[in-house]
Amino acid sequence: MNFADIIRQLQQDTYGAGAEPVAGVFGSSMGSLGLFLPELLLCLTIVLLLLVRLFGADRFVPPYWTALVGALAAFCAAVAEFYGLRGAAPETSVEMFTGLLVYDKLTVFFRLYLLLFLIFVVALTILSGIPDNEDGPDFYTLLFGSTLGMMLMVAANHLLILFLAIEMASVPSYAMVGFLKGRRKSSEAAFKYVVFGAGTAGVMLYGLSLLGGLLGTLEFPVVAERLAVAFSSAESVSLSNPAFATLLLALLMVFVGIAFKLSLVPFHFWCPDAFEGAAAEVGGFLSVASKGAAFALLVRFCLAFSTVPGAELDGFGLYLGLALGAVAAVTATFGNLAAYAQTNVKRLLAYSTIAHAGYMLMAVAAMMVLLHPPEGTADLDGVAAAIEGLLYYAFVYLFMNLGAFTVVAFVRNEIFSEEIDDYNGLVSQAPVLCVAMLVCMFSLVGMPPFGGFWGKLEVFAALFDAGRLHWFMWLVLVVGGANTVFSLFYYLRVLKAMFIAERPENAREARVRADSLQGLYAIVVSVPVLVLGVVIGPLAATVRNVAEGLLSAVASF
C-alpha cells in the first residue's frame, strides 16, 4: 500500500465519498464527519462565541442565546441519531476516523444524554445569571469544550483517544471551577483540582503507555485478542510472569485516571473542595456530565478487556469485578458518612455525588462478575441487565442531581448563602423550590415513586444476580442497602431545614413563585424524576436495547 492509497482511504473514511456505506442517519455520503455532526456543531458554536466577542456583537446578541441555539442544534442532530436507537440503528458498531472513535448505540445514547444536559445547564445559567454578559463567551466556550471532550470519551475506541478525551473534558472544567474570579475559595478549589487532575493524568498516561507496549496496540477491539495471545497459558496468568505484573500495574494506573474523573475513594479529595468553591451551576455540570461520560468510558474499557470467552484471563475479569465492587462499596460508604458532617449544601451534594458514583460503580462491578462467572458461560441477559441499571441510574441522576443544584443556585441568588442553616423554613417563601428539592432528594435516597428508586433497584438486582456467582457481591449489596439508610440522614437534614424549621424573623426573603421562570425551570427539572419513577417501561426498554447493542457489538460470544 503506497502513500496515495493511505491518503485515499483516509479521505473515504472521513468524507465517505465512494466508500462502502456507513450505517447511520446520514447515510453513506458523509462518512465519519457526518456521524460526527453533533460534535462539529458544538465546535462551530465555540467558534461563533469567540467571533461574536471579537467583533463586539455580544452587546447586541447575548452570548447565552448563541450558546443555547448551538446546544439545541447539536441536540437535534443527536436526536436524529437517537431515532436509530429503537429502529434502524446500527446493529453493529461503526468505527469512525480509522478506528479512533466508535459509533454505536451507547455513543448515541450518551451523546443525547450529554447534549440534553448541556441544554439544561445553559438554560440554568441564563436564569441564574452566572456568568454575566461580560464573561459569557468565556464560560460557554469552556462549557462546550468540556462537553465536547465528554462526547469523545463516550465514543472512545482507542486508548489514545481515551486519554485525550479525558484531558479535553478536564482542562476546561478546571477553569470553570475557578470561574468565580476574585473569590479565594474558588481559586483554591480550581488549583486543587488542577494539581490533582494533572497528577492522575500523568499516572494514567504512563499506564496507557505500558498497555500499548505490552499489547502492541491501542485499539479497544484488538486489545482482547492480543491479551488472549499474550496470556494463553494458565502459568502466564500469575504474578511471577513479569508481563502479567505489568498488565496489572498498567490497569491500576489507568483506573487511577478514571477513578479521578469519577471521584472514587481514594481519589475523591478534589471533589468537595471543587464543588464548594465552584458555582452551583458548575457543580451540577461536573457532577452529572463528567460522571456519565466517565462511566460510559469505564464500561467500554472494561468490556474491551473481557471479550474473549474461555481465555485464561476469565478469572482475572472476575477479580477485576470484585475489586471494583470493593471500591464501590468503600466509595458509597465514605461518601455517605462524610456527607453527614457537612453544613454547606454544595459540599453535602459533593459527597452525595461521591456516594452515587459508588452506587453506579456497583453496576459495573456486577457487570464484570456476571461476564466472568467462576464456572460455566456468562448469562448475557444478566450482563445486559447490569448495564441497563447503570444507564437508567445515570439518566435519572441527570435530573435529580441537576434539580438539587438548581435549587441551590436559585436559593443562593435570593439569600446569598449555601449553608443548610440558612435554608430554615424556606417552604413558607419558596414552596416550589422546596418541593423540587424534596422530589430530587428522595429520589437520591432511592425512595419510590421517584426515578432514583428504579435505578437503584436495577443496580441492586444486578448485584444480587452477581452474588449468586460470587458471595462477595452479596456483601456489596448489603453495604449498598445499608448506605441507603445512612444517606437518608443527611438528605433529610436539608429537607428538615426547609420544611420543618421555622423561618427566622431576620432572615433574607427568598420569594420564588411557582409561575416565575425559576419556578418553572425547577418544575421542568423535577417532574421527569417523578415520571421516570412511574413510567419506567419505555426508558428501561430503551437502555436495555442500548446495553444489548453494546454487548452484541463488542463481544464476540
Partner 1 sequence: MAALLFAIIFLPAAGALVLAFFDDDAEDGIRWTGVSFSVATMVATLLLLGGFNYEDPGIQPLVQADGQALESYVYAHEGDVLFDGEVNPVGIEIDEEGVVRNADGEEVEGAVLLAAGDVVHNGKVAEEVTHDGPLEAGQFRRGFASEWIPHWNVYYRVGYDGIAVPLVLLTSVISFLAMLASWSIKKMVKGYVILFLLLETGMLGVFLALDFFLFYIFWEVMLLPMYFLIGVWGGPRREYAAIKFFLYTLVGSVLMLIAMLMFYFYSADASADGSKIFNLLELARIAKAGGFDQNVQLIAFVLLFIGFAIKVPTFPFHTWLPDAHVEAPTPISMILAGVLLKMGGYGILRIAFPLCPWATQAAALVLVVIGAVSIIYGALAAMAQTDFKRLVAYSSVSHMGYVIVGIAVWKLGESTAVANPDQWRMGLSGAMFQMIAHGVSSAGMFFMVGVVYDRVHHRNLNEFGGLTLKMPLYSGLAAGIFFAGLGLPGMCGFIGEVAVTLASFSYSAFLAVVVASGVILTAGYILWALQRVYLGAEYKGPHEEALVPMNGRETLIAGTLLAFAVVLGVYPRLILDMMDGSVGLLVENLAAGYEAVAPAAEETALAP
Binding footprint of partner 1 on the chain (CB under 8 A)? 442, 447-449, 453, 457, 460-461, 464-465, 468, 477-478, 481-482, 484-485, 488-489, 492, 496, 499-500, 536-537, 540-541, 544
The span from the CA of 531 to the CA of 440, in Å, is: 12
The span from the CA of 277 to the CA of 418, in Å, is 11
The pair phi, psi for residue 103, each rounded to 5°, is: -115, 105
The sign of the dihedral angle between the CA atoms of 54, 57, 61, 66 is negative
> What minimum distance in Å lies between the beta carbon of 539 and partner 1?
10
Backbone angles phi, psi at 164, to 5 degrees: -60, -40
H helix or E strand, kind and range, residue 96: strand 94-96
Report the nearest approach of partner 1 to the CB of residue 3 (Å): 52
Pick between residue 51 and residue 500 the one whose CB is nearest to partner 1.
500
Of 181, 120, 189, 131, which is closest to residue 346 (Cα–Cα)? Answer: 189
CA distance 206 to 212: 10
Q: How far is CA 442 from the centre of its chain?
A: 21
* Spatial separation of the C-alpha atoms in residues 131 and 275, rounded to whole Å: 16
CB nearer to partner 1: pick between 130 and 540 = 540
Q: How far is the CB of 373 from partner 1 (least distance, A)?
A: 15
Nearer to partner 1, 81 or 388 (CB): 388
Looking up cell 421516570 gives 532
Q: Is 40 exposed, middle or buried (0-12, 13-18, 19+ CB in 10 A)?
A: middle
Residue 485 or 517 having the CB closest to partner 1? 485
Within a 10 A sphere around the Cβ of 18, how many other Cβ atoms?
11
Q: Quick one: 156 or 536, whose CB is closer to partner 1?
A: 536
Min dist CB 358 to partner 1, Å, is 16
- If the CB atoms of residues 121 and 441 are measured against partner 1, the closer one turns out to be 441
Q: What is the rounded distance in angstroms from the CA atom of residue 154 to the CA atom of residue 39? A: 12
In whole angstroms, the minimum distance from the beta carbon of 288 to partner 1 comes to 24
Q: Which is nearer to partner 1, 259 or 498 (CB)?
A: 498
Q: Which CB, 305 or 460, lies closer to partner 1?
A: 460
Q: Is 102 helix (H, G, I), strand (E, B) or coil?
A: strand
Residue placing its CB nearer to partner 1 in the complex, 33 or 482: 482
Q: One-letter amino acid identity for 152? A: L
Minimum distance, C-beta of residue 314 to partner 1, in the bound complex (Å): 23
Q: How far apart are CA 43 and CA 48, in angstroms?
A: 9
Nearest approach, Cβ of residue 203 and partner 1 (Å):
37
Shortest distance, position 463 Cβ to partner 1, whole Å: 9
Cα-Cα end-to-end distance for the chain = 33
Q: How far is the CB of 360 from partner 1 (least distance, A)?
A: 18
- Residues forming a β-bridge with 94: 103
